[in-house]
Amino acid sequence: MQSELFQTHEEDSRIWEISELNSSIRKVLEKNFSQVWVRGEVSNLKAHSSGHYYFQLKDNSAQIKAVLFRGDARNLPQSPQEGTQYLAFGDITAYEPRGDYQIRVRHLMQDGIGNLRLEFERLKLLLEKEGLFEPENKKLIPSFPIRIGLITSPEGAAIHDFLTILERRHWKGEVFLFPSLVQGSLAPANLIKAFGQIDQFSPSLDLIVISRGGGSVEDLWAFNDEKLVRTISASQIPVISAVGHQTDFVLSDFVADLRAETPSAAAELISSLYLEEIEKASFLEKRLEEIKCNYFHNLNDQLELLKAKLKFGSPKNKIERSEQQLDDLENRLTTSAKRILEKESQKLCYLRSRLEGSSLQNTLEKGFTYIRGQNGEIIKDGKALPTGTKVSVTFRDGNLGMTAN
């Protein structure tokens, strides 16, 4: 028997390494059991410190291991609960080191939600996996939209609320209505057709708003249509999804470039952006006026300064200043000359009085006489006068000739 087994091995088969076998099984499982829904009760739940959850899903007769990684767990409304019946969506795979096959859970929801909810979650995960909801794929909402395309029912409350708020907030622009059904089996095709009409519209629009009022899950289901979601994703014009009420979520909300909770909220957002731009423009206008006034004020000051410099440095002013200086010097010279003349006159008067006081006539008036020699010289020393010399003696009232003894 043993020899037959070895013989069979040599002829028909190969020897597998355990790691090879487990890897091949994993690939087979992932190829044939991807994106499956499984119903079961959570048991043996373990929440790891890494944020991952490990547990088993079981029914009355079987069980399967399951893992919910941290990134997927964050998207759940609440963490898995022991003993709770769930619908799990994910991929069947294998954990090669132990040879265990398991379901990698991507989404969990409690059993009994309904078929529409299941379909919603299936489509959401599918489109999310394709990257249609990624933030980097979203277009910026223009801050100053003037031409807006509104896709909605012309008879619903949504259009009335939307236009009323824009008018009340003094928004200045144009709204072009692209009427469409927003409920029922024909609504998705109608909505997609409206996007096609916008593509042909000229001149092009700044923004698209797809909108309707609140309702039940069934009423809003048209906005979960896969083709519509892909059409919104492919739009070259930014799209705001304003469907239902605050608590309503549809797939158009996830794929649109921006979600507004209600049609009224969309109008408030658009008008707020408009008002912000108006305020910004007004501020810039005032600031420009201030800058202009300051500029011209400074320019005028500089001009006046230049005029003063030119006036001060002109030839005419230089001549006038020189003439003024000359007049000043002349005045100072005249004043100085007068002062000198007065001083010298005073000296002269003093000298004259001195001279007059010491003159011969004054001396004679005092009773004195003086003697002149033959040649008219004044005789100062009588001893030096030879005997017999004729002299003239002058008195106050005349002369007398005499001979020296």
Per-residue pLDDT tens digits for 353-376:
766 655 666 666 777 776 777 777
Beta-carbon contacts of 273 under 8 Å, excluding residues fewer than 6 positions away, are 141, 142, 143, 144, 145
- Which pLDDT score, from 0 to 100, does residue 53 have? 96
155, two tokens? 């008879």
Q: Which of 65-74, 163-172, 328-337, 380-389 has the lowest mean pLDDT?
A: 380-389
Checking if the pLDDT of 347 tops 70, the result is yes
Mean of the per-residue pLDDT values of the chain: 84
Checking if the pLDDT of 79 tops 60, the result is yes
Residue with tokens 């944020």: 51
pLDDT grade, residue 328 (50/70/90)? confident
- Which pLDDT score, from 0 to 100, does residue 389 have? 75
Largest pairwise CA distance in the chain: 208
How far are the Cα atoms of 343, 377, 384, 385 from residue 380, in angstroms, in the given order? 37, 9, 9, 9
How far are the Cα atoms of 79, 169, 172, 200 from residue 177, in angstroms, in the given order? 44, 20, 16, 14
pLDDT tens for 46-58 read 999 999 999 999 9
As a three-state string, the secondary structure of 322-363 is: HHHHHHHHHHHHHHHHHHHHHHHHHHHHHHHHHHHHCCHHHH
- Tell me what the mean pLDDT of segment 291-303 comes to: 76
Checking if the pLDDT of 226 tops 80, the result is yes
For residue 34, the Cα-to-chain-centroid distance in whole angstroms is 49
- Which pLDDT score, from 0 to 100, does residue 333 have? 79
- Tell me what the mean pLDDT of segment 102-107 comes to: 94
> Rounded to whole angstroms, how far apart are CA atoms 243 and 226?
16
> Rounded to whole angstroms, how far apart are CA atoms 253 and 242?
7
pLDDT tens for 18-46 read 999 989 999 999 889 988 999 999 999 99
> Rounded to whole angstroms, how far apart are CA atoms 86 and 84?
6
Domain locations along the chain: 2-113, 139-275, 360-403
- Three-state DSSP class for residue 366: coil
pLDDT grade, residue 275 (50/70/90)? low
- Tell me what the mean pLDDT of segment 294-303 comes to: 76
Residues 95 and 78: beta-carbon distance below 8 Å: no
> Rounded to whole angstroms, how far apart are CA atoms 27 and 331?
120
Q: Tell the CATH superfamily of the 139-275 domain.
A: Succinyl-CoA synthetase domains (3.40.50.261)
State the CATH architecture for 2-113: Beta Barrel (2.40)
- Which pLDDT score, from 0 to 100, does residue 393 have? 77
281, two tokens? 């423009």
pLDDT tens for 258-274 read 999 999 999 998 888 76
pLDDT grade, residue 83 (50/70/90)? confident
- Which pLDDT score, from 0 to 100, does residue 8 have? 53
Q: Which of 39-48, 133-142, 336-345 has the lowest mean pLDDT?
A: 336-345
Of 341 and 80, the one with more pLDDT: 80
pTM (global) more than 0.85: no
- Which pLDDT score, from 0 to 100, does residue 281 have? 61
